[in-house]
Amino acid sequence: MSQAFSYRHLYYFWVVAKAGGVARGAERLGMAVQTVSAQVRELEKSLGHALFKPAGRGLVLTDAGLAALHQAEQIFALGEQLPGVVHDAVSSPRVPLAVGISDGLAKLVVRRLLLPVLDEPHLRLLCHEDEFDDLLGDLALHRLDVVLADRPAPPNRNLRLYSHALGSSALGWYAAPALLAAASEGFPRSLATVPVLLPTSHAAVRPRLDAWFERHGIRPRIVGEFEDSALLATFGAGGLGVFPAAELVADKLTTRYDVRRVGACDGVDEQFYAIGTEKKVQHPLVQRLLPQPT
């Protein structure tokens, strides 16, 4: 890469600017004043602007000099970090894993799905939460190693993506202690009278929940709908309404949020998928996430 100026000249300018003058800068550098002054003039020549201007008996930075100093501060701050970065790279090799998480997927379930890789001693885990379609776009551009979602990738001739089933979990209904008695009496008919919280229609399980209500002849009293599953559980724990959640993480859910199980959401399962760009997964950590063949 060609450059219009010398980084050595920039370094001399940086020292002079921080020292407050050419003489002090030359003293810090252990060089002659004339040499340092000449090096700064070379930088000014290459940039096409004066970096210092006279002020009384000394010099002050021009607007161009202030801009150059700002950039030089960033450049040499990064340079000072270089030895540590190189040392860390050699002594503690990292194993990166960039995971896209569909916003409708329960966060407690996400941790459960990622358990097979969490014991990797050099793991560098990057989790990015977004809407399903946006995550698939990032995956296709190789910005992500895998996407965890509640549905498989739809057929798309422009995106070569492969969905790997991770399993499923039945759903149950949960409530804060204050709502437990009312929700339990005559369950599931009680869901027509007690307040109910649901995921929005962007969640793959929402149509199955709507069909469950219709099958039981229940018109739920919906008081809240949430795209984010963590918000759904948080408001449910706060007593806003009864809410559905995966039975797979019932123990963590009841402990963390102090809620109680009301009853089963019979016949309704939440599906979990790992979506990647390879039919035969090559990434060693993504391989760990997939069910092992028997």
Q: What is the CATH number of the domain that holds 247?
A: 3.40.190.10
Candidates 146, 140, 100, 151; CA nearest to 282 is 146
CA-CA distance, 160 to 162, in Å (whole number)? Answer: 7
Same domain, 256 and 175: yes
77 strand-pairing partners? none
Residue that is last in its domain, among 57, 74, 91: 91
pTM > 0.75: no
Same domain, 162 and 173: no
CB 221 within 8 A of CB 192: yes
* Per-residue DSSP letter, 152: P
Residue that is last in its domain, among 29, 59, 91: 91
Same domain, 103 and 152: yes
Domain interval for residue 85:
7-91
* Per-residue DSSP letter, 155: P
Asked, for residue 294, whether it belongs to a domain, the answer is: no
- Which H or E run contains 113? helix 107-118
Q: What is the CATH number of the domain that holds 61?
A: 1.10.10.10
CA-CA distance, 259 to 257, in Å (whole number)? Answer: 6
CA-CA distance, 149 to 167, in Å (whole number)? Answer: 11
Tally of domains in the chain: 3
* CA 171, 175, 181, 185 torsion-angle sign: negative
Question: DSSP letters along 114-131, please?
Answer: HHHHHT-TTEEEEEEEE-
Q: Could you tell me the two tokens for 150?
A: 């509640």
pLDDT at 291: 83
Per-residue pLDDT of the chain (294 residues; tens, 9 = 90+): 345 678 899 999 999 998 888 998 889 889 999 999 999 999 999 999 999 998 887 789 999 999 999 998 888 888 888 887 777 666 666 788 999 999 888 889 999 999 999 998 888 899 999 989 999 989 988 899 999 999 999 887 677 899 999 999 999 999 999 999 999 999 999 999 999 999 998 899 999 999 999 999 999 999 999 988 889 999 999 999 999 999 999 999 999 999 999 999 999 999 999 999 888 888 889 999 998 765
130 strand-pairing partners? 102
